[in-house]
Amino acid sequence: MAASPSTETIIVRRPANSPARRLTADICVVGAGIAGITAALQAAKLGRKVILVDSQPSLGGQAVNSIIATFCGLFSNGTHGYQFTYGVADDLLSYLEAHEQAVHYRNGPRTTVVYYDEVTLGRWVETSILEAGVTPILGATIMDARVENDRIASVDFMTRYGAVTVEADGFIDASGDAALLWQAGFPCREPANHRVFGTQMVVLEHIDETRQPPREEISARMKKKGEKYGLVRREGLGFTIPGRGIAAMNMTHVETPLDPVEASAKALEGKEQASRAVEFLKKEFPECYGKARVRSFGLPGIRQTRWIVGRHHLTVDEIKAQTKFDDAIGRTAWPIELHDHGDGHHWIVFDEDHAHYIPLGSLVSRDCHNVVAAGRCIDADSAALSSVRVMGPCMAMGMAAAHALDLAGSGSVHQIDMEQMRQRVAENVEKQHYRWSETQLAQAVTS
């Protein structure tokens, strides 16, 4: 006779004044989006003990959970540009290329964009973090930060399972909203006279790829009939990996306030906007989208909210002038892409031979000795930030943040050996590797 399952239970009660679990690390990364993931993996490669914290219950940040679907700014301009960022970025691309229908390079006409499958990317993130020995803490919100002598000594987090305190020599703020430096009381920037809109992505399945209308036709129809469907944004585009019958649609503009109540309301509004956009597609382009259905909504996609006050304030004039800083840590040529009005955005494309650079000074908090920012919360004006906050340069920032803290050790990121730093990031500043052979280029041009 089979044994009966145990039905015994015990009664528990939370102890009064129960202490937080305390963890220590060399480097604590706050934010597990593409910048934070890259930073954590690079720090682990350098032999550092790393803790990676994120407010979501899963890794990957917006790259996975908001279904951004594209790596932008990873290649130079032109039909087939050379690669800008290497290292961890190579690991990522190699993984995607090894999986069927997980990646597609859209070459041209002016920029090279990498489309990816968010599920496969999510698995790369998870397996890479585990294999690197990084300790993840998920679903964790910053409650407080203890500052001593202009250094963050420890950060208190709260999860649904209890409190955690992390002590570290150095911290990387890859939160996207400068959440760590803000909670620690260091100065930050916010837009003064305008808003920057985010996007609610939606993934459609069962589309007819052979009947896809040109992007320009979708945008023209949105401008003409958007009011009928209640659309806020009057331009749109989709990202499709050929052969899957799936498209990630970018057709909304949603405010992304920092107030917790307003942010929650706007998140729901974003899904309503996306649903209206799907209705528009199904009715206006039935040959392609008539049988489509929503596979998933991403989490709200946020572009710009709050960022740090750094040692250097990167400006749009420096980007246009291609200023090559003495402390450059990465580069891109992605257009200025400022979403500061509801129905459209500013889109300024650079020439094929253009490259602009990101200085370490924009990643380093002006007033703090042991925090480096990476991702969309570095110091820049709104137009400049709109060009460097995309995922290609964000990976370069993550790697650079790890190198800077590794060189600083228990000292100050303001006093690291810059010659060593330049050597470490040289590939992401100087190397020009073409991912496609001359034969592949010729075939692509003639096809």
Q: CA geometry: angle at 151 spanning 174 and 365, to 5°?
A: 50
Res 446 pLDDT > 70 = no
Which of 297, 314, 345 corresponds to the end of one domain?
Answer: 297
**Is 341 in contact with 390 (CB distance < 8 Å)?**
no
Whether 177 is in a domain gets the answer: yes
pLDDT at 342: 82
Q: Are residues 339 and 446 in the same domain?
A: yes
Q: Are residues 238 and 333 in the same domain?
A: no
Q: Are residues 281 and 308 in the same domain?
A: no
Q: Are residues 333 and 359 in the same domain?
A: yes
Coil/strand/helix, residue 395:
helix
Burial of 133 (C-beta count, 10 Å sphere; 0-12/13-18/19+) = exposed
Whether 7 is in a domain gets the answer: no
Residue 437 pLDDT level (bands cut at 50, 70, 90): low
Q: Are residues 58 and 184 in the same domain?
A: yes
Which of 270, 297, 324 corresponds to the end of one domain?
Answer: 297
Q: Are residues 139 and 25 in the same domain?
A: yes
| φ, ψ at 83 (rounded to 5°) | -75, 140
Whether 292 is in a domain gets the answer: yes
Q: Are residues 48 and 90 in the same domain?
A: yes
Res 443 pLDDT > 50 = no
Q: Are residues 170 and 274 in the same domain?
A: no
Which of 297, 325, 349 corresponds to the end of one domain?
Answer: 297
Mean pLDDT value of segment 224-245: 94
Domain extent at residue 266: 202-297
**Angle (deg, nearest 10), helices 118-131 and 34-45:** 30
* 368 Cβ contact partners less than 8 Å away, ≥ 6 residues apart: 150, 151, 152, 181, 184, 186
Coil/strand/helix, residue 115:
strand
Q: Are residues 177 and 320 in the same domain?
A: yes
pLDDT at 21: 95
Range in 184-188, 295-299, 341-345, 380-384 the model is least confident about: 341-345
Res 444 pLDDT > 50 = no
pLDDT at 429: 98
Whether 326 is in a domain gets the answer: yes
Res 387 pLDDT > 80 = yes
In angstroms, the Cα distances linking 90 to 71, 74, 122, 216 are 13, 11, 16, 33
pLDDT at 175: 98
Whether 8 is in a domain gets the answer: no
Whether 424 is in a domain gets the answer: yes
pLDDT at 195: 84
Whether 15 is in a domain gets the answer: no
| Total number of domains in the chain | 2
pLDDT at 16: 84
CATH number of the domain that residue 356 is part of: 3.50.50.60
Q: Are residues 94 and 149 in the same domain?
A: yes
Mean pLDDT value of segment 178-195: 93
pLDDT 10s digits, 138-163:
999 999 999 999 999 999 999 999 99
Q: Are residues 160 and 214 in the same domain?
A: no
Q: Are residues 137 and 258 in the same domain?
A: no
Mean pLDDT value of segment 351-359: 96
